[in-house]
Amino acid sequence: MKILRILNNNKYLIIGTIFIILWSLAPIIWTIVVSISPKENLFLKPPIFNINEMSFKNYITLLFGSESESLMINLAAMGFRKAYLNTIIVSISSVALCTSLSTIAGYVFSRFKFFGKKFLFLMIIITLSIPFIVVIIPIIKMMSFLNLTDTYIGLTLVNSASMLPVTIWFATSYFLSIPHDLDDAASIDGCSPIKTFFNIMIPLAKPVIGANMIITFIFSWCSFLIPLILASKDAKMLTVVLTELRGRYTLERGLISSAGILSIIPVIIIVLFFSKFIIGGLAKGAIK
């Protein structure tokens, strides 16, 4: 009875929540269904979805290739696999570089006094309001001058630079919440600022470091404009290749849907298995 009473009192909230969940999941569910359906059934009006005819043929083609498919489809699948590897390398490299720099910068801004500190931090925050499209031409010229276009290094640098203002802001705010008494106690014990940073601050800052790693990875993985203008061949990333799977005269809906599902798997895994720990850690850090 108590459960029924709770459901009755909150029925509109429950109905609204279910509607929002279904509304959000509907495109993903539709994409999954299309990805495992036969090509012939997708062009019928209306499309026919028969469970007995569904298979993972498109996924196998993308991951391993298929002798039964045409040369163009196998070349597209090869390009997809190469782009997947490129995206993994660039995303992990961006996470390592951006998280390292933002953690050091956050510690410096929160613990040391130096000339122009407030002005420099303000300039970093102001860059958050500058659209990336405004600085595209300078970035292209700079990367071309350094011969870093269409390279992992160039993409990693630009991705990291794009996320540094946000991650520095988060890291600085978190370090400011850590009592300075810990620094004083470490100094009395003979720890230098560097030793204090690595032995005391880094363990305490794991929540914000983890949060910065997640948002940097997701940004790098989902980035489209940066790889579109900086990577045309060797370092082409997943978001760009997905737009090229549609041929000039053919439309492989199942293959495109399968590629889309495979491309979101790493992000879904990270969000499902790591976000709750990061949110919990940040909440604990806020009340310390």
Two tokens at 75? 């070349």
Q: Give phi and psi for 44, each to the nearest 5.
A: -80, 155
44 inside domain: no
CATH number, position 191: 1.10.3720.10
Angle, alpha carbons 65-87-34 (nearest 5°): 50
Whether residue 191 lies inside any domain: the answer is yes
Average pLDDT score, the chain: 84
Pick from 46, 23, 47: which is nearest to 35 by CA? 47
User: Would residue 170 count as lying in a domain?
Assistant: yes
Q: Which domain holds residue 160?
A: 58-286
Q: Quick check: is 156 in a domain?
A: yes
The answer to which of 60-69, 171-180, 196-205, 259-268 has the lowest mean pLDDT is 60-69
Residues 155, 226 contacting (CB under 8 angstroms): yes
Residue 253 lies in a domain: yes
Residue 240 has pLDDT above 70, yes or no: yes
Question: Does 139 reside within a domain?
Answer: yes
More confident residue, 34 or 147: 147
pLDDT value of position 6: 58
For residue 146, being part of any structural domain is answered with: yes
- The pLDDT confidence band at residue 4, using thresholds 50, 70 and 90, is low
Nearest Cα to Cα of residue 70 among 41, 48, 39, 37: 39
Comparing 81-85, 207-211, 215-219, the range with the smallest average pLDDT is 207-211
- How much of the chain exceeds pLDDT 70, in percent? 88
pLDDT tens per residue, range 74-132: 888 888 999 999 999 999 999 999 999 999 999 999 888 888 888 999 998 898 888 88
Q: How many domains does the chain have?
A: 1
pTM: 0.86
Q: Tens of pLDDT along 49-71?
A: 777 777 888 888 888 887 777 77
Say what the pLDDT of residue 286 is. Answer: 45
283 pLDDT tier (thresholds 50, 70, 90): low
> What local confidence, expressed as pLDDT, does residue 44 receive?
66
Assigned domain for 31 exists? no
Residue 63 contacts by C-beta under 8 Å, 6 or more apart in sequence? Answer: 77, 81, 262
For the segment 31-56, the average pLDDT, to the nearest whole number, is: 76
pLDDT band at 284 (very low <50, low <70, confident <90, very high): very low
pLDDT surpasses 90 at 279: no
